[in-house]
Structure 1
Amino acid sequence: MKLNHIPYTLSFSVLLFAATSYAQVKPEEKKTDKPTGALTEEIVVERPYKPVLADAAKIRRSPDLNSTKALKSKQNYSILNRKLELNSEIRQLQAQPLSQAAVPPPLANYAKLGLGNFSTGLAELYLNTGADEGLQAGVFAKHLNQEGSLTKQQFSRQELGIFGKSVLDKITLNGELGFDRYASYYYGFSADSGKTIHANPEKQRYSTFTLKGELIKNYEENPPVDYALKADAYLMSDKFNAKENSLALSGFLNKVWKQFNIGVNTSLDITQTKDSASIGNHIFRANPYIKLQGETYKLALGVNLVQEFGTNSRFNFFPAITAEIPIVPEFATVFGGFTGNINKSTLREFSRENPYLNQNVGIQNAVEKTNIYGGIKGNAGAGFGYKAMLFYKKINDMALFRNDRDRQERFNMIYDDAKVTGLEGEVSVKISETVSWQGKVNINTYNMDIQEKAWFMPEFRLSSNARVNIKKKLTLDGEIVVNDQTYGVKYNPDPVMVKIKSYVDFSAGAEYLYKEKYGIFLRANNIFGNKYERYLYYPKVGLNVIAGLNYSF
């Protein structure tokens, strides 16, 4: 800084101080006559206000920063014993409930009566105690008769049964007593001669009394053991005094331990067949097993122990191994197995499949020595299921029907060893309660040991049925069966193999419900009118139609 500026700066400061002091002189004060140099005015200097707290109001104790004790204030509550409502808001309008009409009880009983061409008559009656699933009892009766255009081409069937069911706290009991009668004639018709083989065909009739009983343990969350017992008995006879009596007792025990199921299936079957000779065909079976079930697989290991006794005695030991592994959970599961068993032969089963049996048919059990199978099954949605399986079987003494040399309209039983390779497929579709459809196909190849063919056994068979319910008033259903060609033997006089043509059997029906209790129905069988032969010399009737009334109560 330059020093020659100091005098000017000092002079400017003195003048500024003097001006400031003059501005603070009170105007009402007057000058005195005192000599020059004495104070003649009172100067008051004002400063900004600064408050100062007195020492008496200060808190001289420092806070304790280490104290963690929480302050708990005492609170008093007054709990009301009723809910407070805010009435200031607009309340929601309440709909006036409609008076509900009484729901009618379900109709558990019905009667059906129908008539059709070929002198067809149909009658059915079903009576039940009601809708209580815990306690049920009832009775049913059925009758069907038909007469074709050929001599003595007549059929009739009657069924009668009484049943009961009781669900108790721990077990469920089921029982049924029944009677079945089927009558026909040996009306064998030869296409070569254009007439029946015998001018006056004989009548055949099978009568069977049945008794069934079942005891099942009810479901529990963690049961100590699961079990079930079942009894089946029947008395059968035909018009030529052939008889068969049977009593079968079966049951199982199963214990769950962690991921394992350990148990045994067992049965005792006592069957006596009497014709010109008496044959005792008794079987005891035991199937101990252990099953391992994880989240993504199932595996069962066991054995089939089968003891045959009676007229013939034989002990059999077979493996029983099965497995399942899902490849797409809930949609696709691959499965397979390796098993074996004894397939029991009875007069009752043979007559159900072919009622035109000869007298004194041979009874011999088939031995399924090897059964290897594998496939895939699953669901594609809630209403679609499927299954496809390949298998290979080695069977000793497989039963076959073959026409008798002397009475060609009758059939004997013959037995031969066979190797069977096949494919089975099933499809099931259900669209709510309105539409449902099922289909099944079987493709088999038979390699026989002695016989030229597996007589009357088709290598291809397709069956399918569908059902449609329209507004719970009209129900439509249809069924189709496609059977590949088969082979039989006729004698002229030497045995000659003949081909039996393939056939298609299509049937359909409709039922209309009128005012809940009354209904009408219409049924057409063999719509294509094919007089095909399932067995040699026994053509079926053509197109037959049945119409009638239903009544529910």
Structure 2
Amino acid sequence: MTIVNHTFLNRQCTYPSLKNKHIMQNPSYKIFALSILGAFFTVSQTFAQKQQGEVKTDDIEIYKDTKVVLPQANRIFDKVPISADDNARKPIRYEFIERKLPVQTPEFSPTVNMPDGGSKEDTKAAKHSNIIRVGMGNYGHTFLEAHAGIPMGEDNYHGIYIKHNNFRLGPVGANYSGVSQNIVKVHSRTSFDAVKLEGALGWERRGFDFYGFTPKNYDFPESQIYNSWNKFNFNGVISNSNKDSKVDYEFKSNLSYLFTHLKANELVWKGSGSAVFPVTEQLSAIVDGTLVLAQRQDSLTLYRNLYKLKPTFQYKTDKFTVTAGLNVINDREKNTFNNSYVYPIIKLDVQPMQGIKVFAGYEGDVYANNLTSFLLENQWLNRFTELRNTRKTNDFYVGGKASLQNGLDVEAKLSYANYKDFYVFNNSRTDSTRFEALYSDDSTTVKVTNFTAQASYQIPEMFRSNLKFDVNIFSGLGNLKNAWHRPSFTATWNNTFTIKQKLLVSSDLYFLTGMKGNNFLTNKEVKLDPIIDLNFKFTYLITEHFDVFISANNVFNKNYQRYLYYPTQGVNFLGGLSYSF
């Protein structure tokens, strides 16, 4: 192995030679077999029939997402067919995603955002489910996107999606900071009298460099700072499709296998299920379950399992809904620990008048962290990343939503939560060009206060606007000293205009502030400049089948740093042609 040393700001960085870009795989057949059996079990169950074809837990629903989403963003539109139910009027719902840690970074540069062909204003996209897009831009940007599908009636669809998105050049050192992404995915949806089946099988590859170093001396081969990862993924869903069913259910299975150029790989299977059993007209029993099996192979093989069972009862009237139950969790790591937790769940939803709902609740949970989810948050992770699950010991929250007849919707939520094994990403202690996950220690309970609000307004077939912001206050960080690289304030403002059904104009404005990083080798804390990212997108419909598009990102031409020592691209453009059929 060749070692090339560079001294950057009085810190020592090493780059192992990465000339061999072929990864030898050695997955565990045991966990792979369990994963396949679990996926088969998911798609082979048959339960009683479904009301309105949905898992109906309540008209008021707080959506859950067990992942922190802090990606190096990819905002290029992934075209998927619009289901027939999308245009149906649905009950008022809370649209907040309750995040594992109440921090979510919006998607922004350096990847150019494509025009939103999935919007209802794009009448051509509504007529055609197939599309081919090609484009070119600065930074050596080449782009290809295509989707082809075969509709087999209202509820049956089969399709394939591909994408190539490559920047040959980057913000520093020309080809020392390029990025690439390639995706191939086939998907299918089939409905029978009593059951609905959905599935997708895909492959994704991303390539990038560890370019965040100073001074910027390019006296070594680019291959020494190169990395990539490949991910194969299967998703399957089985759910009830009979409208006359009293019992409702949905089961999901996700199997993924990821391997990196740095010779690390991970196999993850996540299975989840939800079933609703009516007891009386107003009382229902709800059972939710989740199973996460993970095997990571790096210098050692690590087996980690997380089991959750969440039985609850829900009492519902026209004016209010009360939900109460338990979250029973087992978190284990082979030959290391085996911990169990029980957290109460209490939720109250009230509708004081038509179009207005308020809610309050208390809960606790444990969230699975794995190498795959971490790389989606921060691709510049070092090898041998420590993995721990994050435990939310309690969370108090209140909020509400108002849906007005003039097209204006307003939402707000305030939460106060305590976390164990709270994690952040920061530059590594041995190489500041790479990042590591840092966790709060056993004696530390991190307190996070989060206020989220958003307002949306739309004029049908003409204009829509959405403004959202998050305020985060971190305290009790203990050994972490700071919530490294987590923003204290995030705001997004998205707008779409349609002009005479010919010109679609979109704008996105992103603002993040309060982020800090630390160079442990120099013991220097760095406050990152606020991020202001303005983007515009234009699509002109030439005919029913052809359109031209142009996108401009980071219009203010700021090489801001989302992560310390990693500047992003300045202003970048993408222009091209689309054909729909």
Q: TM-score, normalised by structure 1?
A: 0.78
Aligned residues of 1:120 and 1:145 also touching (Cα < 8 A): yes
CA-CA distance at 1:133 after TM superposition: 2.5
2:163 aligned with 1:142: yes
* Residue 551 (structure 1) aligns with: 579
For residue 313 of structure 1, give the secondary structure of its aligned residue in structure 2.
strand
Report the residue type matching 2:193 in the other structure: D
Q: 1:463 aligns with which of 489, 492, 498?
A: 492
8 Å contact from structure 2 (residues 438, 480) kept in 1: no
1:358-395 CA distances to partner (integer Å, 9 max, x unpaired)?
00000001110011000121201262222111110100
**SS class of match (2:249):** strand
Match of 1:518 among 546, 550, 555: 546
The one-character-per-residue Cα deviations of 1:512-548 (angstroms, maximum 9, x if unpaired) are 1112111100000100001000001100010001100
Quick check: 1:490 aligned with 2:490?
no
Aligned to 2:121: none
Aligned to 1:404: 428
In 2, the alpha carbon distance for the partners of 1:181 and 1:220 equals 40
Root-mean-square deviation over aligned CA pairs: 1.8
State the alpha-carbon separation in 2 of the partners of residues 249 and 424 from structure 1. 30
Partner in structure 2 of residue 245 of structure 1: 267
> Which stretch of structure 1 is more off in the superposition, 384-393 or 105-114?
105-114
Distance in 1, matches of 2:171 and 2:319, equals 60
- Compared CA separation, residues 423 and 197, structure 1 to 2 (3 A): farther
Q: Distance in 1 between matches of 2:154 and 2:377?
A: 34
Question: 1:182 maps to which residue?
Answer: 206
| Change beyond 3 A, Cα 1:270–1:495 | same
Per-residue deviation, residues 330-358 of structure 1 (Å, max 9, x unmatched): 2x211011000001111111111110000
For residues 540 and 137 of structure 2, the distance between their equivalents in structure 1, rounded to whole angstroms, comes to: 18
1:83 corresponds to: none
SS at match of 1:356: coil
Amino acid aligned to 2:338: S
- After superposition, where does 1:226-241 map in structure 2 within 5 Å? 226-241=248-263
Deviation track 1:110-163 (CA, whole Å, cap 9, x = no partner) reads 100000111011100110113732211010100111112422010000111000
Counterpart position of 1:327: 352
Structure-2 residue corresponding to 1:85: none
CA distance, structure 2, for counterparts of residue 487 and residue 341 of structure 1: 28
Give distance in 2, aligned partners of 1:372 and 1:149: 43
Q: 1:171-197 CA deviation, whole Å, 9 max, x = no partner?
A: 21101001111110001133xx35579
Q: Which consecutive unaligned segments of at least 5 residues does structure 2 have?
A: 1-125
Partners of 1:486 and 1:232 lie apart in 2 by 33
Post-superposition offset of 1:267 = 1.7
How far did residue 199 of structure 1 move? 7.2
- Which residue number in structure 2 is paired with residue 285 of structure 1? 308
Alignment partner of 1:356 is 2:373: no
1:76-106 Cα offsets, whole Å, 9 max, x none, are xxxxxxxxxxxxxxxxxxxxxxxxxxxxx94
For residue 365 of structure 1, what is the amino acid of its counterpart? N
Question: 1:269 and 2:292 equivalent?
Answer: yes
Shift in Å at residue 497 of structure 1? Answer: 1.2
State TM-score, norm by structure 2.
0.74
Structure 1 position 452 matched with structure 2 position 481: yes
Letter in 2 for 1:443: V
Q: Measured at CA, do residues 217 and 197 of structure 1 come closer, stay the same or move farther in structure 2, by a change above 3 Å?
A: farther
**Cα shift at 1:260:** 0.7
Residue 34 of structure 1 is matched in structure 2 by: none
Give 2:256's aligned amino acid. Answer: Y
* Counterpart Cα distance in 1 of 2:567 and 2:286: 49
Question: Equivalents in 2 of 1:158, 1:525: separation in Å?
Answer: 21
Residue 156 in structure 1 maps to residue 185 in structure 2 = no
Give 1:112's aligned amino acid.
Answer: R
For the residue of structure 2 that corresponds to 1:318, the secondary structure is strand
Task: Give the AA of the match of 2:422.
Answer: M
CA distance in 2, matches of 1:297, 1:226: 21
Tell me the distance in 1 between the aligned counterparts of 2:219 and 2:267: 33
1:487–1:198 CA distance, 2 compared to 1 (3 A): farther
Q: CA–CA distance in 2 between the matches of 1:449 and 1:499?
A: 19
Change (3 A) 1:357 1:514: same
Within 5 Å, which residues of 2 pair with 1:90-129?
106-129=127-150
**For 1:168-179, what aligned pairs fall within 5 Å after superposition?**
168-179=192-203
Structure 2 residue identity aligned to 1:514 = I
- Is it true that 1:305 corresponds to 2:328 in the alignment? yes
Asked if the contact 1:189–1:197 (Cα under 8 Å) also holds between the matched residues in 2, the reply is no
Q: Does the aligned pair in 1 maintain the 2:193–2:242 contact within 8 Å?
A: no
CA deviation after TM superposition for structure 1 residue 433, in Å: 2.2
- 1:430 shift after superposition: 2.1
Give the C-alpha shift of residue 502 in structure 1: 0.7
Contact 2:439 2:480 in 1 (8 A): no
Q: Which residue of 1 aligns with 2:530?
A: 502
Which residue matches 1:24?
A: none
CA distance in 2, matches of 1:451, 1:167: 50
1:415-437 superposed Cα distances (whole Å, 9 cap, x missing partner): 01410111011222221122111
Per the alignment, residue 116 of structure 2 pairs with: none
- Structure 2 contact 171–570 (Cα < 8 Å) conserved: no
Secondary structure of the residue aligned to 1:522 is: strand
Indicate how the Cα distance of structure 1 residues 495 and 198 shifts in structure 2: closer, same or farther if over 3 A, else same: farther
For 2:345 and 2:461, how far apart are their aligned partners in 1?
A: 39
Matched residue, 1:71: none
Structure-2 separation of matches of 1:111 and 1:174: 24
Partner residue of 1:258?
A: 281
* Alignment correspondent of 1:58: none
Conserved? CA contact 1:197–1:409, under 8 Å: no
Q: Which has the higher contact order (CA 8 A, sep 6+)?
A: 2
CA contact (8 A) 1:121 1:144 kept: yes
Quick check: 358-367 or 278-287, which moved more? 278-287
Could you tell me how far apart the structure 2 residues matched to 1:130 and 1:215 are? 19
Unpaired stretches in structure 1, ≥5 consecutive residues = 1-104
Separation of aligned partners in 1, 2:277 and 2:316: 13
Report the secondary structure of 1:309's partner residue.
Answer: strand
Q: Tell me the equivalent position of 1:475.
A: 504
- In 2, are the aligned partners of 1:403 and 1:411 still within 8 Å (CA)? yes
Tell me the secondary structure at the aligned position of residue 450 of structure 1.
Answer: helix
Classify the secondary structure of the residue corresponding to 1:348. helix
SS at match of 1:352: helix
1:258-288 per-position Cα deviation (integer Å, ceiling 9, x unaligned): 2011120012111111111122121111000
Counterpart AA for 1:482 = F
What is aligned with 1:542?
A: 570
The SS at the match of 2:455 is strand
Offset of residue 219 of structure 1: 4.9
Q: Distance in 2 between matches of 1:376 and 1:106?
A: 36
